[in-house]
A and B are shown apart, each in its own frame.
Chain A
Amino acid sequence: MNYLIPTLLLVLTCVSGFADETNQPNLPRRNPAKTESKAANSSQKKPAKDPSTTSTDELANEPVQKVNDPFERINHTTFRLNDSFTIHAIKPLAHGYEQIVPHAVRTGLSNFFDNLDFPVRFGNDVLQARFVRSGQEVGKFVVNSTAGVGGLFRVSDQVSSLADVPAEDFGLTLGRWGFSTGPYLVVPVLGPSTIRDLTGYAGDFALNPLNWYLIFSNHRLISNVVGYSITASRFVVRAPGNVHAYEQMKEAAVDPYSAVRNAYLSHRAAQLEK
């Protein structure tokens, strides 16, 4: 059972196929900045440009990017369920956590769990053959684990070469290997994703040595207690930020479903470009 879901996701990713722009016309795969730059460059090279077309017209007439969302109806349903779950379950939890735990402690715990994810980021850097970046991740981990007291303080932010290292995950690794995103999905509890990113979660799980112990340990009770404790703690620590972000998103959006979908896909595309 431990291997069933990752295997299934991997198969789904393979089925969804390698990246092919002609097959994926509706996903914002490129960094909008670069797209804009390319569009701008190409427009500069066009000698036969309509003189009556102004720059503002060009901007205003950019086509709307279509999205690969074949499961939109069920995604909408899941989105509403997640919304309800967030407001009625996670929000009270996050509120209680914020009331009980001081801000400085919350920040320390958040840093701690970020530091704990080092093997995932490092492993994906290596899988993508980004050796400089993997070295930076090692540097971050060493600095934060030692000077940062086990990761509670993110001392690496004070070191310019370690301050802004993009976090890699297996979804991005698959993207760099050429796999397309596949259809957009809204996963219960988990939120927005794609077939590729969902597979990425399984990959990240496998890359984390902590999980190797949880999977292969002969002490099932201990490993389960440790595993669920870490998962629950991580969930609670990150709940306040997630809830605030979600509520702000809803408040600004006229169509929250479309807003979240666009934001998720655009952000992942931008991450892939870094």
Chain B
Amino acid sequence: MGQIGHGIYLCRYQIRVAAINLSFVICHLSFAASPSDPAAQLHSEVDQVLALAYSGQSSEALVDRAGPLLEKDFSFELVTRQAIGPGWRQFTASDQQKITDLFTRLVIRIYSARVVGTQRPNIIYGKTITLAPDRCEIPTRVTAPNSDKPYSVTYRLINLPSGWRIYDVLIEGVSFVANYRAQFDELAQRGGAAAIIKALEAKLAEPINPNS
């Protein structure tokens, strides 16, 4: 029985780090578009976003302020397309737009609930790794003030006509996009776009618990 507790800790810790702890993920997501070095760009703009995220305002106020910033610098359209997967093309344009809007709202809302009232994390940046001519990833180590251990957060960026945008984030090896794709795939198989829309609307209707 000695390892049972350890097992629980292991599993739950893995869930924790993989649990899309959006507070420290999304606060890095926003940065101004620039055609040059994505790492420098990410690095230089993080402080600006962290300053906004940890300015002590309410969750509702943060949704209003952080939302436009995130939408401007983060390709929610591409992230949503990836999260849905190949089935995206079978959806109508109207459904695609609705899913994108709902998913964007969900991400921003969770982010806003997580960061309010918390302390700034310490972030160490690694070297940029080129994935393709127009794609790269930037590894970081994040230490949250209330966390026992640091964890890895890797940003994947793509160079779009509008500049470098993040299209995925990996926390301890768990892809944000792939995680949602796994969830949406099950829903899509059961009920197509309507099931995804319904699930997102239900999720958005739930109250966010800032203490969780």
The interface of chain A, by Cβ under 8 A from chain B, is 28, 31-33, 36-37, 40, 43-44, 55-56, 59-65, 67, 103, 107, 110-111, 114, 117, 120, 164, 169, 187, 189-193, 201-202, 204-205, 208, 210-211, 214, 227-228, 230-232, 234-235, 238, 241-242, 244-249, 251-255, 258-264, 266-271, 273
Contact = CB atoms under 8 A, between A and B. Distances in A.
Contacts of A271: 173
B15 interface: yes
Contacts of A210: 2
A248 B78 contact: no
A156 B196 CA distance: 46
10 contacts: A33-B137, A60-B84, A61-B85, A61-B86, A65-B182, A245-B16, A260-B15, A262-B174, A263-B14, A270-B173
Contacts of B84: 60
Interface stretch (B5-13, B35-43, B50-58): B5-13
A193 B199 contact: no
B78 A264 contact: no
Contacts of B135: 40, 55
Contacts of B160: 56
Contacts of A232: 5
Majority-rule SS of B interface residues: helix
B183 A254 contact: yes
B209 interface: yes
Chain B residues touching A, range: 35 or more
Contact of B15 (A64, A103, A211, A264): A264
A190 B141 CA distance: 28
B205 interface: no
B173 A43 contact: no
A231 B209 contact: no
Nearest to B83: A60
A179 to B, nearest CB: 18
Given A61-B85, A187-B7, A267-B173, 11 more contacts: A55-B135, A59-B167, A60-B85, A60-B86, A235-B4, A245-B16, A251-B209, A252-B106, A258-B182, A258-B183, A262-B183
